[in-house]
Amino acid sequence: MPQGDKDKYTDKQKRKAEHIEKSYERKGVSGKEAEARAWATVNKQSGGGNRSGGSGQKKSSQAKSADRSDSARQAAATRQSGSRSASLADQTKEQLMKKARAQNIRGRSTMRKQELISVLRRSN
């Protein structure tokens, strides 16, 4: 099977990829990039083509399911790790002041950097 051949995918997987691709295109992603992202999503969700010889790997459906669950768990942990809050600490005091000004936070001019971070975190 040549690289990029979609013969080993089920009709349902093909439809799913098509819907995902259209969604990306509506968001302004180029056609080629949208297609690549769509198939990457289908592969991540289902572990590759489901017809015989589909993914190129000899994995049982239980193993594929377990891998997907682990991947989803890791993604959720990454989202919950507070990366938005951590990004506040990486910003300069001037950048934090601009954010505080935009949110009309009182007393911002006398606050230290750590105080600004605390107030901005609470306001979100």
Same domain, 47 and 75: yes
Residues 43 and 103 placed together within one structural domain of the fold: no
- Write the pLDDT tens digit of every residue in 86-103: 588 888 999 999 999 999
Structural domain for 49, as ranges = 11-83
Say if residue 66 is in the same domain as residue 118: no
What's the pLDDT tens digit per position in 36-52? Answer: 999 888 888 877 776 66
0.75 exceeded by pTM: no
C-alpha neighbours within 13 Å on the C-beta side of residue 120: 24
Q: How many domains does the chain have?
A: 2
| Residues 15 and 50 placed together within one structural domain of the fold | yes
Say yes or no: 79 and 115 in one domain: no
